[in-house]
Amino acid sequence: MYQAPDKQIWKGRIDPEDGAKGLRWHQVVKPLKLNQEVQLSGQEKNIAFLGFCCDEGVRRNKGRVGAQQGPDALRQAMASLPVHFNSEKVALFDAGNVICPNRNLETAQELLGQKIAYLLEHGYFPVLLGGGHEIAYGHYLGIHQHLKKYSEAAFGIINIDAHFDLRSYARDSSSGTPFRQIADLRKNHNKDFQYLCLGIQPTGNTPALFSAAKQFDTKYLLAEEVRESKLPVIKKKINSWLDKKDWIYLTLDLDAVSAAHAPGVSAPSAHGLDPFVVRELILHLIRSGKVLSMDIAELCPLHDQDQHTAKLAAGYVFEVVQAIAAAATSKTTDSEDPVK
């Protein structure tokens, strides 16, 4: 089921005395109703926030539920972010929510895929707000549909996560199965499954899951390897993996971040990643220009503390928007001055 955007969610501080320099996101985000014909804004970059209000996959995976409330909690945390980007170059849209009534996960994922394909077809950069990590399979369904027009494109997935999420779905799909489902779907269409995981925790993955990772030729870095002091080496490894990709799908499971900074997730990680390192990884990937779309999963407001996790996730979205805006501005400047 699809829910149109709710303007009432976007509320926050207003500083009229500062004029245009005092604007915040809630003052510039525009509604985008995906049950109607949509058109681009005229700006060079159009970013659409689409929520997936679902934690049925988490429930099936025996995790703690509450992530279905994540999208609106994240919007509330983003509402008062300051506008540092050029709104003549970049436009922000709230595209509403896909919800999961009656625990019908598969139908919700199919609908999510349809909305993603529609956004991509119309030139939007989708930023999905989760929701459990079952968002990944629905998200990919939309990418899969979009990429049918680009049959020769080299495509890969980067998952910043404590878990591989490569569980068997023979009995049921869940938040722990999406990338195995994607692997099988790509195999059925004679496509390579190129999958890179950053932040894997041995304490969160059984030997069976490490075996599955090997079976699907998954590349990964353990959480203990993803540290600030090692960022130059990590970026080189990522660049090597990115080199032969045309596009990537970027997904962040907030449980990759240390529970000290991200307590409000479905499966907190005591020894997770430093939030600054995750920020650097996201920025590095967005700046590559190869990210087709992205999502942030597993925000669980029910278990959050003073909106710490929601604000952390909002900060990551802020950085994504800033990086996209910077690229748009740089592109325009370069085209205006061919001498550079």
- Report the chain's terminal Cα–Cα distance, integer Å: 49
**Strand, coil or helix: 85:** coil
Tell me the CA distances in angstroms from 36 to 39, 40, 49, 229, one per residue in order.
Answer: 10, 13, 16, 48
pTM to 2 decimal places: 0.95
Q: Are 70 and 300 in contact (CB under 8 A)?
A: yes
Phi, psi of 40 (to 5 degrees): -70, 160
E-assigned strand segments in 76-177: 90-99, 125-130, 155-160
Q: Over its length of 340 residues, how does the chain's per-residue pLDDT go in tens digits?
A: 999 999 999 999 999 999 999 999 999 999 999 999 887 778 899 999 999 999 999 999 999 999 999 999 999 999 999 999 998 899 999 999 999 999 999 999 999 999 999 999 999 999 999 999 999 999 999 999 999 999 899 999 999 999 999 999 999 999 999 999 999 999 999 999 999 999 999 999 999 999 999 999 999 999 999 999 999 999 999 999 999 999 999 999 999 999 999 999 999 999 999 999 999 999 999 999 999 999 999 999 999 999 999 999 999 999 999 999 999 877 655 444 433 3
Domain ranges of the chain: 2-336
Secondary structure of 205-245 in HEC code, one letter for each residue: CCHHHHHHHHHCCCEEEEHHHCCHHHHHHHHHHHHHHHCCC
CA gap 197, 185 in Å, rounded: 19
Contact in structure between 139 and 128 (CB atoms under 8 Å): yes
Match domain 2-336 to its CATH number in 3.40.800.10, 2.40.37.10, 1.10.1040.10, 3.10.180.10: 3.40.800.10
